[in-house]
Amino acid sequence: MISGMDAVFRALADPTRRRLLDELFRQDGQTLTALEQRLPMTRFGVMKHLKVLAEANLVVTKRRGREKLHFLNPVPIRLVHDRWVSKYAEPWAARLSGLKKRLEETTMEKIFEIYIRTTPERLWHAITTSEMRSKYSFGAVVSSDFTPGSRFEMRTPEGGLLGEGENLEVDPPRRLVQTMVPLWSAEIKREGQSRITWEIEPMGEVCRLTVTHDQIREGASSEVYGGWPMLLSSLKSLLETGQSMDFRPPAEVMERWQSSTLESAPAPTPAHQG
């Protein structure tokens, strides 16, 4: 089996497979039957192409009842971009757009998957330790005691509140489920609460990390979920090489982060009048 970036390039080389990815980009979480109806080929032919995409980790599947749903996983594309494109293009020029999926009438679900050469314990430590987390989370500092029912906060290095939530499930070093409310701008606050599930599965010398971000408002701003491919790529680099990637949010997002810092700062104490 071809592995790594070679598998990604091989999968993307075929126009039918690119069309399948386009279909999942347009509407994520489709069944084999739905995808078959969109392509002029047999069910078996679609299955063969999906198998190649799955081997490249560009498509991941999830069972929901009797249905097997297919999701586009943008993380390998992000890794290819970082390795082959970013040094030739302006940062953020090829930024991945949010992927849309209608599960219910008003919510979306996003699934991100990556393989990291590390142990479950080291990976859990990187997810739940403030110092480690800030190295691959655009500098944001996450604080919590990570016990069931406890609160967590995400702040800028200067202390501005970016987000908050509750740890619903804490099962080290396998599973962490959290609610999350983004707070870095008045506009983003209106998106409301969503849920993030981290799942760690050891596979020999590597771990498969799956992040499911769901209960997102249908049509929500991509700021809520669009940073995951970069965050996970940086996490992989940090654990495998000791160095994270120097990603920066877009300028407009940074401005909102800075505004959050100013809004969260305590009011100055009036000078004593003698």
The CATH number given to 74-263 is: 3.30.530.20
d(C-alpha 147, C-alpha 166), whole Å: 9
Q: Each residue of 22-61: pLDDT tens digit?
A: 888 888 889 999 998 888 888 998 999 999 999 888 999 9
Average pLDDT over the chain, rounded to whole? Answer: 83
CA atoms within 13 A on the CB side of 45: 11
Q: Is the pLDDT of residue 262 over 60?
A: no
Q: Look up residue 200 and give its DSSP letter.
A: E
Q: Is the pLDDT of residue 19 over 80?
A: yes
Where do runs of H (alpha helix) occur along 107-227? 120-128, 130-136, 186-189
Residue 84 or 14, more confident: 14
d(C-alpha 201, C-alpha 210), whole Å: 8
Handedness of CA 112, 128, 245, 184 (dihedral sign): positive
| DSSP string of 226-243, one letter each residue | TTHHHHHHHHHHHHHHS-
Q: What is the CA radius of gyration of the chain?
A: 20
Q: What distances in angstroms separate CA 112 from CA 14, 46, 83, 97, one per listed residue? A: 23, 22, 19, 14
Q: pLDDT-based confidence at 93, cuts 50/70/90?
A: very low
pLDDT value at position 127?
Answer: 97
pLDDT value at position 101?
Answer: 37
Which CATH code, of 3.40.50.720, 1.20.1050.10, 1.10.287.1080, 1.10.10.10, is assigned to 1-72? 1.10.10.10
pLDDT value at position 3?
Answer: 55
Q: Each residue of 178-215: pLDDT tens digit?
A: 999 999 888 899 899 999 999 999 999 999 999 999 99
Lowest mean pLDDT among 39-43, 60-64, 132-136, 262-266: 262-266
Where do runs of H (alpha helix) occur along the chain? 4-12, 15-26, 32-36, 43-55, 75-80, 120-128, 130-136, 186-189, 228-241, 251-264
Pairing of strands 175-182, 67-72: unpaired
Residue 244 or 269, more confident: 244
- At 127, list the tokens: 């997810």
Domain boundaries, the chain: 1-72, 74-263
- Across the range 238-256, mean pLDDT stands at 76
- At 182, list the tokens: 């983004």
| DSSP string of 79-120, one letter each residue | HHIIIIITTTS-TTTTPPPPPP--SSSSEEEEEEEEEESS-H
Cβ atoms of 144 and 137 within 8 Å: the answer is no
d(C-alpha 31, C-alpha 35), whole Å: 6
Q: Is the pLDDT of residue 252 over 90?
A: no
Cβ atoms of 202 and 119 within 8 Å: the answer is yes
Q: Would the CATH topology of 1-72 be identical to that of 74-263? A: no
Q: Each residue of 141-165: pLDDT tens digit?
A: 999 999 999 999 999 888 889 999 9
- Across the range 67-96, mean pLDDT stands at 67
Q: Is the pLDDT of residue 104 over 50?
A: no
pLDDT value at position 250?
Answer: 59
Q: Is the pLDDT of residue 70 over 70?
A: yes
Q: Is the pLDDT of residue 8 over 90?
A: no
Cβ atoms of 114 and 162 within 8 Å: the answer is no
